[in-house]
Structure 1
Amino acid sequence: MSRWHSPMLVVDFKYNIIRIHRSTLDALGNPEYVEILVSPKHVRIGIRAHDKQTITSQKVNSESLLHQRSIQLYSTDLARELLEINPKWKNDQIYRMEGVLINSENMVLFNGMDSELIHSEEYATAQ
């Protein structure tokens, strides 16, 4: 599977944005809702698919996927919590992670320790 077709997650600490790429949503069967799970102890982030709204799920704006490669979730609190789970992550930086689909959990799992620092200019041109 090529890099652009692998499940992908980008965390932009400069603007407190979590970008869930289309490839991740495709791997999950294009769910109506997603839930973000964080394991600070294991430095992992999970994106789980849901078919209905729950107290912890977020609606997927499928219309935005017609014009963009990702959906964007804005959360200062979540971004600050994520920043604390990996000592290598720095404020005002952008990190990309490739994930692995866990079919039995209907989830894509991302290892924060395997994240890649990307430059704002590089990421802007890829969008």
Structure 2
Amino acid sequence: MMSRENLCQPILSIDLKKSLIRIHRNTLRLLGDPDYIQLLINPNSKMIAIKAGDKRDYLAHKVRKYRFETGYSYELYCKDLLQTMMTVDCGWEYGNIFRLYGQFNSKAGVIQFSMLETSPSMQQNTEWSEQTL
């Protein structure tokens, strides 16, 4: 069960089984409910960042507001991005789901998540390979 403190903290879930990134609604609210977001990965520092973007940026993802009507997170299916993430040595295994808690930097307008500080949401005992993604 999530504590009240965790509900206010930015949350990102990485689902390696479904090639899916879930961004908790509160995470986007901290960024001002942007129409577009950028997902940035720094493999050297093993960090993921989310910041507001705009439609002129070809790397930005459109946030489709209707997807929030049925849940508390925004879902992105990003097979290529997750394959890139898997090249960063974080101890992540295919078939698992990881939850990351982030830190909001209001001056920079960015939320940062450490790829090393994850809590496994679910462990799958199924064999997965790189070809699965």
Same fold (TM over 0.5): yes
Give the structure 1 partner of residue 113 of structure 2.
110
1:96 touches 1:116 (CA, 8 Å); kept in 2?
yes
Distance 1:86 1:4 in 2: 28
Structure 1: which 5+ runs fail to align?
Answer: 122-127
Per the TM alignment, residue 112 of structure 1 is displaced from its structure 2 partner at its CA by 0.8
Structure 2: which 5+ runs fail to align?
Answer: 125-133
Using the size of structure 2 for normalisation, the TM-score is 0.84
> Relative to total residues, which structure has the larger helix share, 1 or 2?
1
Distance 1:86 1:118 in 2: 19
Give the structure 1 partner of residue 7 of structure 2.
4
Alignment of 1:116-127 (within 5 A): 116-119=119-122
RMSD: 1.5
The amino acid of 1:81's aligned partner reads T
Could you list the structure 1 runs, at least 4 aligned residues long, displaced by more than 4 angstroms after superposition.
Answer: none
Identity %: 27
2:40 touches 2:50 (CA, 8 Å); kept in 1?
yes
Q: Is the radius of gyration larger for structure 1 or structure 2?
A: 2
1:86 touches 1:113 (CA, 8 Å); kept in 2?
no
